[in-house]
């Protein structure tokens, strides 16, 4: 569809080879960051992780972490109790099942505690440049406002976007995240500044 191709073209033109705003230096740190970022802002995660990675610089260190000590380090993050438990379980599984190396395929990543499809895909996108889509709250909102999907779930929305866009999905994922975070915001979207304004018929669209 011509309109969808134009949306894709404009996303790639405006965001180029966009990357996550999470700060990490290796696959272990990336996975931890993405796990912490569920229902939490990247900005908050980036405030937490320096002390966290100083205390647990490797997946082996995290596997041996004291749960209470870990909770104290991440308690400003949403759902920190569950996340702390999952982080330790994830690290233990990586050490026991994958020789201490973070797996980088979807099936193995999803076998780890606290890692669902979205988290697995984000890790694969950011570390491997994998051609796959991940749907968070921003991507879900943008997809529906632009009528790229009418699906009720992130998983079904992901299927719709993959079918429509086909390639450059890694860049399009991050483009849509940043676009949703800074322009097509949940409240008070910046429609006047939006490069997709002429293609948008959302009920949330503000008149100019």
3-state class percentages of the chain: helix first, strand second, coil last, to nearest 5: 60, 0, 40
Is 95 annotated in a binding site? The answer is no
Whether residue 66 is contained in a domain is answered as yes
pTM of the model: 0.91
Q: Report pLDDT digits (tens) over 156-165.
A: 999 999 999 9
Sign of CA dihedral 111, 79, 129, 152: positive
136 is known as an active-site residue: yes
Can you spell out the DSSP letters for 92-136? HHHHHHSTT----SHHHHHTSTT--HHHHHHHIIIII--S-----
pLDDT at site 142: 97
Of 75, 103, 128, the one marking the end of a domain is: 128
Is 77 annotated in a binding site? The answer is no
118 is known as an active-site residue: yes
38/124 same-domain check: yes
pLDDT at site 140: 97
98/138 same-domain check: no
Phi and psi at residue 197, to the nearest 5°: -55, -40
Is 40 annotated in a binding site? The answer is no
Indicate whether 208 pLDDT > 60.
no
Whether residue 104 is contained in a domain is answered as yes
| Owning domain of residue 181 | 2-18+133-199
100/173 same-domain check: no
Q: Report pLDDT digits (tens) over 62-91.
A: 999 999 999 999 999 999 999 999 999 999
Whether residue 205 is contained in a domain is answered as no
H/E run at residue 72: helix 67-74
Whether residue 106 is contained in a domain is answered as yes
User: Residues 160-163: contacts with CB within 8 Å, 24+ apart?
Assistant: 161/133, 161/135, 162/132, 162/133
Phi and psi at residue 186, to the nearest 5°: -60, -45
8/86 same-domain check: no
Indicate whether 207 pLDDT > 90.
no
Is 191 annotated in a binding site? The answer is yes
Q: Which of 54, 118, 166, 205 is catalytic?
A: 118
Whether residue 165 is contained in a domain is answered as yes
Q: Which of 19, 136, 150, 167 is catalytic?
A: 136
124/58 same-domain check: yes
> Residue 168's domain is classified under what CATH number?
1.10.1670.10
């Amino acid at each position: 569809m011509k309109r969808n191709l134009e949306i894709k073209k404009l996303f790639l033109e405006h965001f180029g080879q966009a990357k996550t705003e999470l700060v990490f230096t290796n696959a272990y740190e990336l996975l931890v960051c993405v796990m912490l970022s569920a229902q939490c802002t990247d900005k908050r995660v980036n405030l937490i992780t320096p002390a966290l990675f100083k205390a647990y610089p490797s997946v082996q260190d995290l596997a041996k972490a004291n749960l209470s000590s870990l909770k104290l380090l991440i308690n400003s993050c949403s759902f920190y109790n569950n996340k702390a438990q999952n982080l330790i379980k994830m690290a233990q599984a990586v050490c026991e099942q994958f020789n201490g190396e973070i797996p980088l395929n979807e099936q193995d990543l999803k076998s780890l505690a606290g890692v669902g499809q979205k988290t697995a895909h984000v890790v694969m996108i950011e570390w491997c440049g994998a051609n796959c889509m991940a749907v968070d709250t921003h991507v879900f909102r943008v997809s529906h406002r632009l009528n790229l999907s009418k699906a009720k779930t992130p998983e079904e929305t992901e299927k719709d976007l993959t079918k429509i866009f086909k390639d450059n999905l890694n860049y399009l994922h991050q483009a849509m995240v940043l676009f949703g975070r800074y322009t097509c915001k949940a409240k008070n979207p910046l429609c006047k500044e939006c490069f997709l304004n002429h293609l948008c018929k959302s009920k949330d669209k503000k008149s100019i």
